[in-house]
Amino acid sequence: MCFVFGQKKVVVIDPGHGGIDSGAVGVNGIYEKDVVLNVAKAILKLNKSFFGNELDIYLTRYNDTLISLSDRSRLAKSLNVDVFVSLHCNASPNNSRGMEVYVHHSKNKTSITLGVSILNESTQKLGIENRGVKFANFQVLRESISYCPSVLVEMGFMTNTEEADYFLKHASIRAMALAVLIGVIMYLNTG
């Protein structure tokens, strides 16, 4: 169980984009903003149905609205979260595939450990190519790293037909959500 002195661990899941910002558009016409929101909502449901609300999970958005990057980070800070996970889907001009996780800097060891936990659970259980942990100066990571482990998860390529079609299926959304959730729980249980 993920408890510290009787308190639940607090997690913010940040479904990227939203509103007028669609994010990547899949080769099949689906929008990144919808995929990541569906995965985030599935994480909430699975936390309740499979794990009895073991974690106290908040989303940065619960519907199709655009939330500023600063407000996403501010929410995590105001809740004094234990983990911040930003969900995204990738795009590429070629036929790239796979899942990767970004952390702010190579010195952020706890974020790297969180990213590896999510990546390993997702890629091993779902058979998705593991593209590894990478480093980037993304605003949501830069603004949240000072107070909690923070990762940005690229769950696959919307520009890859197979991976875009994967996210059309409810069972696939649920499987990805469960893998991300278990990766977070495993990280919190070993920390």
pLDDT (tens digit per residue) in 19-68: 999 999 999 999 999 999 999 999 999 999 999 999 999 999 999 999 99
Residue 41, token pair as written in the block: 């909502």
Q: What is the pLDDT of residues 155-173, one digit of tens each?
A: 999 999 999 999 999 999 9
Size (the chain), residues: 191
- Average of per-residue pLDDT values in the chain: 95
Residue 166, token pair as written in the block: 């994967």
Cα-to-chain-centroid distance, residue 163: 16
pLDDT value for 45: 98
Rg (CA), the chain: 15
Asked if 2 and 11 touch (Cβ cutoff 8 Å), the reply is no
Domains of the chain: 7-190 (3.40.630.40)
Question: Given the DSSP bridges, would you call strands 150-157 and 83-90 parallel, antiparallel or unpaired?
Answer: parallel
The burial of 64, by beta-carbon neighbours within 10 Å (0-12 exposed, 13-18 middle, 19 or more buried), is given as: middle
Coil, helix or strand at residue 97: coil
Nearest CA among 36, 11, 191 for reference residue 116: 191
What is the spatial distance between Cα 77 and Cα 96, in angstroms, rounded to a whole number?
34
Coil, helix or strand at residue 19: coil
Q: Which contiguous run of DSSP H or E holds residue 119? A: helix 109-126
CA atoms within 13 A on the CB side of 137: 0
Residue 50, token pair as written in the block: 């499979």
pLDDT value for 191: 62
pLDDT bucket at 151, cuts 50 / 70 / 90? very high
pLDDT value for 4: 46
Task: Compute CA distances 79 → 10, 73, 83, 121, 185, whole Å.
Answer: 8, 10, 11, 26, 18
